Amino acid sequence: MITLAYADALDLLLLPGWPVQIVDMVLDEMTRNQTPTSQLIGAWISAHQLPVVATRTHRHYLQAQETPAMAEIKRANLRELAIQEAMSDFALAKPSQMGIFLFEDHKIARASFMLPENCRKVSTRAFLIFLEEKGSLPSAVEIERKAILNGRNFSQLRFPPV
């Protein structure tokens, strides 16, 4: 979402017509601190009334923040743990449906976890190429270019490798 926000292209997430949801820990991490995209992402999610997937991971993180001794809980990997939890819950609740989980390109390369049969990890770049191939987007490269021109350090990683 961050790359799409830099490109002012968050609405591309709605183009396939799939339901769009956001994992609570991911939302927290994208909007907790003031960044060039934090307010834009928060406002877009609110404007589109996207459902937020609640996780035990995020609830635990919030509870730990309320306890002085735990306030410094490490946030490293909490986003990925929450996504794994959301994937597992989705797989159990909706085994006949396919869930698409979008990751930034540099994050998907590091995110290794159990991938349920009805879930797919998709990089931002792969999602843009998918939209272009379906005729919903004139140019995936143009979206990347716009994000870079607006200050995004877009990953040079390719997943899957070209």
- For the stretch 75-131, pLDDT in tens is 778 888 899 999 999 999 999 999 999 988 665 556 677 889 999 989 899 999 999
E-only strand ranges, the chain: 22-23, 52-53, 99-103, 119-123
At a CB cut-off of 8 Å and minimum separation 6, what does 3 contact?
Answer: 104, 105, 124, 144, 147, 152, 154
What pLDDT sits at residue 80? 86
Ranked by mean pLDDT, the top range of 64-68, 118-122, 151-155, 158-162 is 118-122
Element (H, E) at 88: helix 78-93
Residue 16: what residue type?
A: P
Domain ranges of the chain: 2-149
| Structure token digits, residue 150 | 């607006």
